[in-house]
Structure 1
Amino acid sequence: MTYPTLFDGLRLGDLDLPNRVVMAPLTRNRALPVGDVPHVPNAEYYAQRASAGLIITEASQISPEGKGYAWTPGIYSDAQVAGWKQVTDAVHAKQGRIFVQLWHVGRISHTSLQPNEQAPVAPSELAAEAHTFDGQALVPTSTPRALDLFEMARIVDDYRKAAINAKNAGFDGIELHAANGYLLDQFLRDGSNKRTDAYGGSVENRSRILVEVLEALTEIWPAGRIGIRLSPFSSAGGISDSDPMATFSHVIKSVDKFGLAYLHLVEGETGGTRELPKGADIATLRALFKGTYMANNGYNRGLAAKAVGSGEVDLVAFGRPFIANPDLVERLAQNANLNEVDPATLYGGGATGYTDYPVQNASVLA
């Protein structure tokens, strides 16, 4: 059997992608400080990278309560929708395709980032083993309060409203962020979810809110324009689970029933090693999802080409290489050298380390 290459097109739901190189969601902390509004530099940044088969935006909070870091964009206010419309217009002008990642951080926040300096929310009143950036320094995340049972409908509705806003902002689709130790992941894991009601205990209960959110999103968008991101073996934010294979086997089976555009898996530790704990098996989990599979974590050109060429994966999401190489697709196709990321300019700041990385061929970004 002949499999495609990394540079062959793909039909994703009802969307045609020109290649299988995806720009992964990358937090850059460059929204306007007042209102967390995307603005012109964000539009320039994403438009520079429009040759990706698909762009997935940086995670964008669905509500003020969903915020966990300074200067990250939201998708809940009219000003934010207008800001994102600048971004989608700029990407579409370059014939690009762009999904927004919907985000609620849960307990990965600090009271200074929350409305009225309230405690962050989570499944249970358990502090994360994590730090966040409050606009001045890295600070330990605050102890959350446990969400009341009656608040679950509000959380689901916040996702629904964000999905509507994503349509109004001109996005081609949405990705549900259920990974990396944030709110939905906190519900899925028995290390962070100690509830005894309908949203805790069994894996069916722990995944209930995820299913309810997907039900809400598919009321707004066709399933073929919705993706989901999971990180079964990541310990980001101090997240843990006693049996991740059992938990995420159930979760992926539940997700598969929706007929989503893709499953986006972080293969290993978030932004870290690809080594898996004993008993972990990505291939077993991947086989439970019948749709398009997007792989992520530490992929270089050779590993990505091999994975796509063997039929193991359909799409590969690249993170840091896209930060430093706006023309990453072209460089990969030519097997050219890549620019190196400047760690000092990853988060916050202006154009330096954001929109000023050089390209090999100036006409690429013209």
Structure 2
Amino acid sequence: MSNLLFEPYTLGPYTLKNRMVMAPLTRSRAGQPGNIPTALNALYYAQRASAGLIISEATQVSQQAQGYAWTPGIHTLDQVIGWRSVTDAVHRANGLIFMQLWHVGRISHPALQPDGQLPVAPSAIPASGMAFIANERGEGEMVPFVIPRALATDEMPYIVKQYTQGASNALKAGFDGVEIHAANGYLLDQFLNTSSNRRTDEYGGPVENRVRLLMEVVDAVCKTWGAQRVGIRLSPLGTFNDMGDDHPEELFGYIAEQLNRFNLAYLHIVEPEIARDIATKAYDPRGRAIMKLIRDNYRGTLIVCGGFDHAKAMACLAEKRADLVAFGRLFLANPDLPERFRQTAELNRPDESTYYGGGAKGYVDYPTLKQLRGKEPMPLFNEVEKS
């Protein structure tokens, strides 16, 4: 079997040097105050520029869109400038990077919202679980989700405008493209799924209504960037953040067909085969079938993400189930993941205790093969953190 992972791939106007994508990973390390990317973030992304494509961590398009402490935004000038330092660093390392545009909807808390307002959602249905906020002492704290405010019909253009402004700011910040986050139980996904959307207006009920906001956002962002530099992420059968749909095959088959009219850079799918039933923890048996449905219905580039290692990724590409494969935790702990795969070298193990928040530890201190072998020095992390 030829190693398709290392073949170049044409993605819109770009030629990727391999078919390995760094998946978006929330790390909660934006500079404070202001949720502004720093030199530490620039180093983190530049270290991983050997990926064919980097997709940035989810980035809130407005203050209303924020759902977690210390996550970066793209709605202020300082944030644009901070992100520009990141994209410049990635480009100097010969990498490509798309920004993931994010609105969390109900997965937030008044402590994160402008003027302490309620988070917004398609319907006033709270998610179970806890929000991660920064308390008055500046420490991370888990607090229960609140009942969100249902958006009025006439507010939908304002939601679309947030994505449009975020997309425009990402362009100014030097990104190579953008990915619209419509997965994992955040705002656009909340509109898609019947578990969270009980609306009776033109944004609720039948599939074509629940998909309406997503399509309006895609259309608006494509007008800013050009469709060939816009991707979208979906999570069929996903249950994270209390998601679920009565007829997911109909929903995601319809979305895949509708996206064809845009000629996007790609469709990015969180592997439905890894979706588990919340109560039984059993894998959803519909996973393989719904993935095939999307592959059959969508005519563009397909990225798949979720639990892939070297062997599984090669098999996925060989069987033409996807065109590119995204890796999350493996890239988190192995900045030189493509080279490690080429050499079938041992991988660093990720330190779960450092996933969210903190500084250089567990972020930019994972060694590359060359560093382990003494061929490259380790960065001066303390100096980076001060800059």
Q: What TM-score range do you get, normalising by the shorter chain?
A: over 0.9
Q: 1:299 aligns with which of 303, 308, 316?
A: 308
Per the normalisation by structure 2, the TM-score is: 0.91
Q: CA deviation at 1:255?
A: 1.4
Deviations 1:82-102 (A, max 9, x none): 000000000000000000000
Q: CA deviation at 1:111?
A: 1.2
State the secondary structure of the residue aligned to 2:5.
coil
Map of 1:110 onto structure 2? 109
Any residues of structure 2 matched to 1:211-222 within 5 Å, and which? 211-222=215-226
Q: CA deviation at 1:270?
A: 7.3
Deviations 1:212-237 (A, max 9, x none): 00110111111110110000110110
Map of 1:348 onto structure 2? 357
Map of 2:368 onto structure 1? 359
Q: CA deviation at 1:128?
A: 0.8
Q: 1:163 aligns with which of 146, 162, 167?
A: 167
State the secondary structure of the residue aligned to 2:262.
coil
Map of 2:284 onto structure 1? 276
Unmatched 5+ residue regions in structure 2? Answer: 135-139, 380-387
State the secondary structure of the residue aligned to 1:65.
coil
Map of 1:319 onto structure 2? 328
Distance 1:240 1:276 in 2: 12
Deviates more, 1:309-318 or 1:40-49: 309-318
> Which residue identity does 1:26 align to in structure 2?
L
Q: CA deviation at 1:285?
A: 1.4
> Which residue identity does 1:211 align to in structure 2?
M
Q: CA deviation at 1:310?
A: 2.5
Is contact 2:274–2:284 with CA below 8 Å preserved after alignment? Answer: no
State the secondary structure of the residue aligned to 2:106.
coil
Distance 1:324 1:274 in 2: 28
Map of 1:64 onto structure 2? 63
> Which residue identity does 1:88 align to in structure 2?
T
Deviates more, 1:59-68 or 1:274-283: 274-283
Distance 1:207 1:278 in 2: 21
Q: CA deviation at 1:264?
A: 0.4
Deviations 1:158-210 (A, max 9, x none): 11111110110000000000000000000001111111111011110000000
Any residues of structure 2 matched to 1:245-284 within 5 Å, and which? 245-268=249-272, 275-278=283-286, 280-284=289-293
Map of 1:173 onto structure 2? 177
1:187 matched to 2:196? The reply is no
State the secondary structure of the residue aligned to 1:257.
helix
> Which residue identity does 1:232 align to in structure 2?
P
Q: CA deviation at 1:282?
A: 0.8
Q: CA deviation at 1:277?
A: 3.8
Is contact 2:273–2:285 with CA below 8 Å preserved after alignment? Answer: no
Q: CA deviation at 1:281?
A: 2.3
Is contact 1:99–1:173 with CA below 8 Å preserved after alignment? Answer: yes
Is contact 2:335–2:366 with CA below 8 Å preserved after alignment? Answer: yes
Distance 1:312 1:269 in 2: 12
Deviates more, 1:267-276 or 1:81-90: 267-276
Distance 2:141 2:23 in 1: 26
Q: CA deviation at 1:297?
A: 0.4
Is contact 2:274–2:307 with CA below 8 Å preserved after alignment? Answer: no
Q: 2:141 aligns with which of 137, 141, 160?
A: 137
Change (3 A) 1:163 1:350: same
> Which residue identity does 1:346 align to in structure 2?
Y
Map of 1:121 onto structure 2? 120
Is contact 1:268–1:275 with CA below 8 Å preserved after alignment? Answer: no
Per the normalisation by structure 1, the TM-score is: 0.96
Distance 1:165 1:28 in 2: 21
State the secondary structure of the residue aligned to 2:18.
coil
Deviates more, 1:111-120 or 1:15-24: 111-120
Count the aligned residue pairs.
365
State the secondary structure of the residue aligned to 1:181.
coil
Map of 1:32 onto structure 2? 31
Distance 1:166 1:357 in 2: 28
Distance 2:85 2:73 in 1: 14
Deviations 1:8-34 (A, max 9, x none): 000001111000010000000000131
Distance 2:317 2:283 in 1: 20
State the secondary structure of the residue aligned to 2:4.
coil
Identity of aligned residues (%): 51
Map of 2:385 onto structure 1? none
Q: CA deviation at 1:134?
A: 0.7
Considering only aligned residues, what root-mean-square deviation do their CA atoms show, in Å? 1.8
Distance 1:41 1:140 in 2: 31
Is contact 1:248–1:285 with CA below 8 Å preserved after alignment? Answer: yes
